[in-house]
Structure 1
Amino acid sequence: MDSTPGVTIDLTVADQDSKRFGSAPSPIKIGAVRMHGWQVHPISVASDQFDGADAYLVKFNYELGTTPDTPEMNWFELGVELREGVVVDAIPHHTQPTQTSVSYIVNDHLNLVPATNGVTPAAHLPATGETIHVFGVGSSGVRWQYWATSDTGVRWGSRVAWLVTLVDQETTHLDLTTIVRFDQRPTLDWNVLPAVTPADLRIELPTATNPRAEVTTQPANGTTVALLPSSPRVFISYTHDNNAHKQLVRDFANLLIKCGLDVRLDQFASPARKDWFLWANDNIDNADFVIIIASPKCLAVGEGKIDRNEHPGMHCELGIMRDRLQGNRRLWEQKLLPVVLPGESLSNIPVFLQPQAMDRYEIDELTEDALGDLLAAIHHGTEDNSRSPVVLMATSARRALADS
């Protein structure tokens, strides 16, 4: 166990209107997440695997605590981003509340898979009692997202997570950035946004003079263990027509997250000062899909029938989309998804999105069943790579190590 003092990340919120006026928000503390008692175990791998990189199994213990009399959370998320290296696998995987306790081994593909009888496990997870989504496996970072039940908010208390990482053989420390995100259930007198504050963490890696228990990989018995597919990343572009429309979009975004999508929305972004053009450009280009929400103001911006000083964010976002569409129509016709939410009209989709000639997604109620066509389009669009999952992971690991 690492003797480094624990890291505490304060959970704070700020006035939702502060970013609209560019003033510095005054954060209100509503709780904290404390990470402590992490463990690192070297994993023995063959010298010809993964270009000779070193592999480690890392355990994180962390606790969520919140302040009384604040609204409950719809979801809470802990993320760790490696400054060097790649996350090969991570547990919990996508998990339902009925998931019982499970012990895992590390197989020779560096997957964390359930241990069979008579095999010494390398990692253990207690029963979850909640829905968990995981994002980022195969990249330099991973995020675990914990969902509330329908009746109560996200539970307080302790949690545990594990990851397998590959790093360069010269690496002596894991330098991480930890980020906590959350979404609170709205109330009439609670007009705030989360204020995200990252924290840096350094974890010492085992050395010859500082031995730790080593994890031995288990043979995969000639079978390929399917890795979890990366959750599609979705950016939602919309105009702030009014508060009711903003809340409708937020509810829609939370429903997509509940369905396992990696959703980016301005209402989930930190209120810290930022260049919103760069923020929008990054999210549009790096999303697997961009959802454009139909509304009267969206139509007015898209058709150039509103002063360009009004809704500057949407002018920026739709301008980027038109430019990308002109440059690569085959790609962006599939990537841009116009959506009509309950109470809105098909006629409010800008014409450059071709609402009559191409598919659009009309949702008559915010339920998982009503999202069927939209989710089918998103998941079908991400199933275009037929290579072996092990080859994909090895390729991803080499690329991440080369870029670090």
Structure 2
Amino acid sequence: MDATPGVTIDLAVVDQDSKRFGAAPGPIMTGALRVHSWQAHPIRLALEQFDGAEAYLIKLNHELETTPGTPEVNWFEFGVELSDGSVVDAIPHHTKPSHPSLSYVVNDHLNLVPAANGVTPAAHLPTAGETIHAFGVGSGGVRWQHWAAPDSGVRPGSRVAWLVALVKRGITHLDLTVTTRFDQNPMPDWNVMPALEPAELRIKLPAPAHPRPAVTTHSVGGSTAVLLPSGPRVFISYAQDNDAHKRLVRDFANLLIRCGLDVRLDQFSGPGRKDWFLWATENIDDADFVIVIASPRCLAVGEGKADRNENPGMHCELGIVRDRLQGNRKLWEQKLLPVVLPGESLTNIPVFLQPQAMDRYEIDELTEDALSDLLATIRHGIEDDSSSPVVLTATNTGRALADS
């Protein structure tokens, strides 16, 4: 946190001809918007990510102080313009008075996303208590517009805003211009309009974070795509026992995505003809973890009791998994995670996954709390490994065997 005194923007009113209102030598002051303190946190990027720029998470504590006896403020706007760089994301984004308090993390694309249970957040927003609109995200500046409830003025007091700034490598200070606008509710005999004077703010930047491992390249459809470290990648292998089970697996996959995981599932596959054997091999080998969903057909395939001409997707995937397990048991015993979804049975986990001798994950409902043990295992397993790649030029895909 910077200990430098904050900046103050006085909120004044002038007449329609831009002359100071009233006989006093100075303007009538309706209040002030103050930036009391700020923080700058370096964000760890992959080497060569974002063209070698540097990224910082900036926190701005600001306060609206109104003058007693003056008309209420219908809305006010607090904004910052970067002299050099861009605002990749910012919070609050768009909120309503009932918006709850939330904690956020910065993902690999420099977006601020809600933090899942068990993840240490990077930023926190208290309950808004008012309507807030954000403007300018993705440009050189951002503005937050705070609206009062009908028939009431904007409440005075402290607020917080966060932004992710992308700047040129090597700069030591972030220079900002702080601006504000507001709408006063004057008395009928006033012929006035708001006035403001921008203020300059300089934030000293800490040393940039050490870069992540170097990127690599991978051929995708004849073109080269950049591979960057990402969150834990999970491949989900399951049998399509019936439509209800298939929907349940999809809901489970979407919940994992909301928890910050990079999920590969056949139902997320895009259109087009694919070689599903090659897709399964590549995604199983590239995954940090392979989740095998228990079901009667999964058990039958896994223990060699199913017709070889049925469930070809499951035969293919479990065949690859068994082969990898045989080749490196120490590694794959940790990567293979048997999961029992709501309504399923532990007895439907194939014996080669050792459901009695090793951990399995029985989920009684599809909530983040119910996934706590599974998420803890995944995050603990990759906490010292930031080498998981994600192809940025293609959508996460899966295999869509009609009878997997």
* CA distance, structure 2, for counterparts of residue 190 and residue 65 of structure 1: 22
Q: Residue 152 of structure 1: CA displacement?
A: 1.0
Code of the residue aligned with 1:200 in structure 2: it is: E
Equivalent residue number for residue 242 of structure 1? none
Instruction: Quickly say closer, same or farther: Cα 1:218–1:147, change in 2 above 3 A.
Output: farther
Q: What is the identity, as a one-letter code, of the residue corresponding to 2:131? A: T
- Separation in 1, partners of 2:5, 2:149: 33
Query: Under a length normalisation based on structure 1, what TM-score does the superposition of the two structures give?
Result: 0.51
Q: TM-score of the superposition, structure 2-length normalised?
A: 0.51
Is the aligned partner of 1:148 residue 2:148? Answer: yes
Q: Give the structure 2 partner of residue 372 of structure 1.
A: none
Q: Contact conserved, 2:42 with 2:207, CA < 8 A, in 1?
A: no
Letter of the 2:80 counterpart: V
- 2: distance between equivalents of 1:31 and 1:136? 25
Asked if the contact 1:15/1:26 (under 8 Å) is kept, the reply is no
Q: Secondary structure at the match of 1:144?
A: strand
- Say whether the 8 Å CA contact 1:7–1:35 is kept in structure 2: yes
Deviations 1:269-315 (A, max 9, x none): xxxxxxxxxxxxxxxxxxxxxxxxxxxxxxxxxxxxxxxxxxxxxxx
Q: Are residues 1:176 and 2:176 paired?
A: yes
Mapped pair 1:57 → 2:68: no
Give the corresponding residue for 1:84.
84
State the match for 2:185 in structure 1: 185
1:2 aligns with 2:15: no
Counterpart for residue 164 of structure 1? 164
Q: Is the 8 A contact 2:230 2:262 kept in 1?
A: no
- Report the CA distance between 1:218 and its aligned residue: 6.7
Cα distance in structure 1, aligned partners of 2:172 and 2:17: 44
Greater Cα radius of gyration, structure 1 or 2: 2
| SS of match in other structure, 1:202 | strand
- State the distance in 2 between where 1:37 and 1:17 align: 36
The alignment partner of 1:50 has SS state of helix
The residue aligned with 1:100 is 100
Does structure 1 residue 41 correspond to structure 2 residue 37?
no
What's the CA shift string for 1:57-87, capped at 9, x where partnerless?
0000011011111111111000000000000
Cα pair distance change 1:61/1:218, threshold 3 Å: farther
Number of aligned residue pairs: 216
Asked if the contact 1:78–1:180 (Cα under 8 Å) also holds between the matched residues in 2, the reply is yes
CA distance in 2, matches of 1:87, 1:70: 35
Please give the per-residue CA displacement for 1:86-111, whole angstroms capped at 9, x wherever unaligned.
00000001000010100000000000
- Structure 1 counterpart of 2:343: none
Distance 2:18 2:136 in 1: 31
For the 8 Å contact 2:64–2:156, the answer to whether it is kept is: yes
1:180 Cα deviation from its structure 2 partner: 1.0
1:379-399 Cα distance to aligned partner (Å, 9 max, x none): xxxxxxxxxxx99xxxxxxxx
Q: For 2:149, give the aligned amino acid.
A: T
User: What CA distance in whole angstroms lies between the structure 1 residues aligned with 2:18 and 2:160?
Assistant: 35
Displacement, 1:207? 2.5
| Bigger helix fraction | 1
Q: Deviations over 1:346-365 (max 9, x none)?
A: xxxxxxxxxxxxxxxxxxxx
Segments of 5+ residues of structure 2 without an aligned counterpart are 20-24, 211-228, 232-259, 264-391, 394-404
Q: Which runs of 5+ in 1 are unaligned?
A: 20-24, 224-389, 392-404
2: CA distance, partners of 1:10 / 1:140: 24
**CA distance in 2: counterparts of 1:129 and 1:218, whole angstroms:** 34
How far the C-alpha of 1:18 sits from its partner, in A, is: 3.6
Q: Distance in 2 between matches of 1:18 and 1:107?
A: 46
**Aligned partners of 2:125 and 2:139: how far apart in 1?**
23
Bigger strand fraction: 2
